[in-house]
């Protein structure tokens, strides 16, 4: 039996530029089916949470551009369950808006906030952790994040350092740390005090809005004046006018790193933030030379550690290539060193400046 006080906010408004050219402005990665399962990342995220959250209590926050894509992929949602941002303003404004909206519907709501593009391999363990976290949020005014026990020195994730102080399975957070250099990541791994920051949050609606009031008053000033507007027909016009003036700030930087009531629940449920081509390579099955081929056919000669992603029905023939990313989608072919994927954002910017929007 699902609890009617439990809600889920799925954040699905990003462009996913690190996955260019596969992820495009018109069809970002959360709407793509990376692994041939028949369900996009957004659909998989919805499917997962719908097992423990009432269907009518699941909200998608996305950009105006993706309204029809969300409706097409999740036709069971009502229009009221799709919150459309007029512009991108990072995760803090997105979460603040969703919190005000849900509070107007249910002032006792407990909320899980989740990105739309994560992979969870051990779903049973994951949902158990979420339900445990929702009970914790309902009975305290603390903010909760899910931490993942690291199994390698990863430089692509933020880290959470835990305190010895705990409340059952919930540890007090000592510090949040941004993505570290490799040597520091090794130190974190060896210390046993640091966990990956999953970007999954659980709290009571009143707890998070109290934190917004205390720590991001400039954001509250833009959105709280609509208190009697949320969950009414006037909400969208109010948001279209006020949301663009919100500060562009992440929930981690704006709230979680500053609040003194943040706890973490450890998890081991095969989690991956599918954020980069490198993470997709790590998760994919490989041939005897550690090459990955997705969607397409390949013939490889003296090649190793490559990832090749082309449209279905295409054949790639490679010779003497090592550690390369070869990705083609629509009108763009990208070939670059796999471990230099941080340069992809530069490629995207250059293509936009020199060739216009047709290739973005």
- In sequence order, the 6+-apart residues with CB closer than 8 A to the CB of 149 are 195, 196, 266, 267, 268
Q: What local confidence, expressed as pLDDT, does residue 167 receive?
A: 73
The distance between the two most distant Cα atoms of the chain, rounded to a whole number of Å, is: 66
In this structure, what is the dihedral angle of CA atoms 252, 255, 256, 262, given to the nearest 10 degrees? -160
Name which of 163, 251, 161 is nearest 199 in CA terms.
251
Which DSSP symbol is given to 27? B
Phi and psi based region of residue 138 (left: phi greater than 0; alpha: psi -120 to 50; beta: remaining): alpha
Q: What local confidence, expressed as pLDDT, does residue 308 receive?
A: 96
Structure tokens at 41: 């990342």
- % helix / strand / coil in the chain, to the nearest 5? 40, 30, 35
Q: Which fold has domain 6-144+199-262?
A: Spore Coat Polysaccharide Biosynthesis Protein SpsA; Chain A (3.90.550)
- Residue 58 host element (H or E): strand 58-63
| Distance between CA atoms of residues 354 and 360, nearest Å | 11
| Distance between CA atoms of residues 163 and 205, nearest Å | 25
Contact 292/308 with Cβ under 8 angstroms?
Answer: yes
Structure tokens at 186: 């090794």
SS3 state at 341: helix
Q: Name the pTM for this structure.
A: 0.91
Q: What local confidence, expressed as pLDDT, does residue 1 receive?
A: 54
pLDDT digits (tens, 9 = 90+) for 257-316: 999 999 999 888 888 878 788 888 988 899 999 999 988 899 999 999 999 999 889 999
Give all strands of the β-sheet with 292-294 in edge-to-edge order: 292-294, 307-309, 324-329, 332-337
Query: Which stretches of the chain drop beneath a pLDDT of 50?
Result: none
Locate the domains of the chain by residue range. 6-144+199-262, 283-355
| Distance between CA atoms of residues 174 and 262, nearest Å | 9
Considering only CA atoms, give the Rg of the chain.
Answer: 21
Kindly give the pairing relationship between strand 271-273 and strand 118-120: antiparallel
Tokens 């409706």 appear where?
Answer: 71
Helices (H), the chain: 41-49, 67-73, 91-105, 123-138, 182-191, 205-215, 217-223, 235-242, 251, 277-283, 344-355
Contact 325/336 with Cβ under 8 angstroms?
Answer: yes
- The residue count of the chain comes to 360
């Amino acid at each position: 039996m699902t609890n009617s006080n439990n809600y889920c906010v799925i954040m699905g408004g990003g462009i996913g530029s690190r996955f260019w050219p596969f992820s495009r402005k018109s069809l970002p990665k959360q709407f793509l089916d990376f692994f041939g399962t028949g369900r996009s990342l957004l659909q998989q995220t919805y499917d997962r949470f719908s097992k423990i959250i009432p269907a009518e209590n699941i909200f998608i926050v996305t950009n105006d551009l993706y309204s029809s894509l969300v409706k097409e992929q999740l036709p069971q949602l009502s229009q009221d369950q799709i919150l459309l941002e007029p512009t991108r303003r990072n995760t803090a404004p997105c979460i603040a808006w969703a919190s005000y909206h849900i509070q107007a519907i249910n002032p006792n709501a407990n909320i899980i906030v989740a990105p739309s593009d994560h992979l969870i391999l051990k779903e049973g363990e994951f949902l158990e952790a979420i339900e445990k976290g929702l009970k914790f949020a309902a009975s305290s005014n603390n903010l909760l994040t899910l931490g993942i026990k690291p199994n390698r020195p990863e430089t692509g994730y933020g880290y959470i350092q835990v305190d010895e102080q705990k409340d059952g399975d919930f540890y007090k957070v000592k510090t949040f740390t941004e993505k570290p250099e490799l040597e520091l990541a090794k130190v974190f791994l060896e210390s046993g005090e640091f966990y990956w920051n999953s970007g999954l949050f659980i709290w009571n609606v009143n707890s998070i809005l109290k934190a917004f009031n205390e720590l991001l008053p400039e954001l509250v000033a833009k959105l709280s004046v609509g208190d009697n507007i949320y969950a009414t027909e006037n909400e969208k016009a109010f948001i279209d006018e006020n949301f663009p003036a919100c500060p562009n700030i992440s929930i981690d930087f704006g709230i979680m790193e500053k609040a003194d009531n943040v706890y973490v629940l450890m998890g081991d449920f095969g989690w991956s933030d599918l954020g980069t081509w490198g993470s997709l390579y790590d998760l994919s099955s490989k041939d005897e030379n550690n090459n990955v081929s997705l969607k397409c056919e390949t013939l490889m000669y003296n090649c190793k550690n490559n990832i090749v992603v082309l449209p279905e029905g295409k054949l790639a023939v490679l010779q003497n290539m090592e550690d390369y990313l070869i990705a083609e989608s629509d009108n763009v072919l990208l070939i670059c060193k796999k471990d230099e994927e941080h340069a992809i954002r530069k490629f995207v910017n250059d293509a936009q400046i020199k060739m216009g929007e047709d290739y973005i």
